């Protein structure tokens, strides 16, 4: 059976980002996976109950806070739990998540100052999935994801 892959909804072009946009990843492998029906899309922030558009949020000191100072940690953690439940339900072992998001960031996030500064780190959902043995890749790591899937 083919591996299913959890994919950030915005990478499929769905307009779920904080500013109401999508960020479609144009890659032939995405088209192939879609035709094979192996993509399971999710936006953790929407799943956590946040609206679109919404205030941009960043992680600081284990909390997620908007640029207006609102603590949205609970919604981010709920979205992460829903992502994990979805993975467990579908036996998903691989995720393709949007880099630098406070939910989906795989290798980098913003530093919490809301000044556009990136630092090494993981978003809330990416970290929870990785801690539960799901292999998480960003859209900048497509070759590595394709290679890992080929070795299954």
For binding to ligand SF4 (CB under 6 A), which residues are involved? 8-10, 16-17, 43-45, 98, 101, 103-104
**Minimum distance from residue 115 beta carbon to ligand SF4 (Å):** 19
Judged by CB, which is closer to ligand SF4: 41, or 111?
41
Nearest to 99 by CA among 81, 76, 123: 123
**Minimum distance from residue 31 beta carbon to ligand SF4 (Å):** 19
**Minimum distance from residue 43 beta carbon to ligand SF4 (Å):** 3
Scored b (16 or more CB within 10 A) or e, 53-66 reads: ebbebbbeeeebbb
Judged by CB, which is closer to ligand SF4: 45, or 58?
45
Judged by CB, which is closer to ligand SF4: 68, or 150?
68
39 three-class SS: strand
- For residue 128, the surrounding DSSP H or E stretch is helix 124-131
Judged by CB, which is closer to ligand SF4: 16, or 127?
16
Judged by CB, which is closer to ligand SF4: 43, or 134?
43
Give the position of tokens 């922030």. Answer: 45
**Minimum distance from residue 97 beta carbon to ligand SF4 (Å):** 6
Residue 67 structure tokens: 């640029």
Nearest to 39 by CA among 72, 6, 62, 9: 6
Q: How far is Cα 127 from Cα 46, in angstroms, rounded to an integer?
A: 18
**Minimum distance from residue 29 beta carbon to ligand SF4 (Å):** 18
């Amino acid at each position: 059976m083919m591996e299913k892959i959890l994919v950030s909804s915005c990478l499929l072009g769905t307009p779920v980002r904080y500013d109401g946009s999508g960020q479609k990843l144009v890659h032939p492998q995405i088209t192939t996976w879609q035709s094979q029906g192996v993509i399971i899309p999710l936006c953790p922030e929407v799943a956590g109950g946040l609206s679109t558009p919404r205030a941009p949020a960043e992680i600081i000191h284990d909390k997620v806070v908007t640029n207006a100072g609102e603590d949205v940690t609970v919604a981010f953690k709920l979205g992460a739990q829903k992502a994990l439940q979805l993975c467990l339900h579908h036996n998903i072992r691989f995720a393709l998540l949007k880099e630098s998001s406070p939910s989906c960031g795989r290798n980098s996030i913003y530093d919490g100052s809301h000044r556009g500064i990136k630092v090494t780190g993981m978003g809330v959902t990416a970290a929870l999935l990785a801690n539960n043995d799901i292999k998480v890749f960003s859209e900048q790591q497509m070759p590595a994801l394709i290679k890992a899937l080929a070795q299954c």
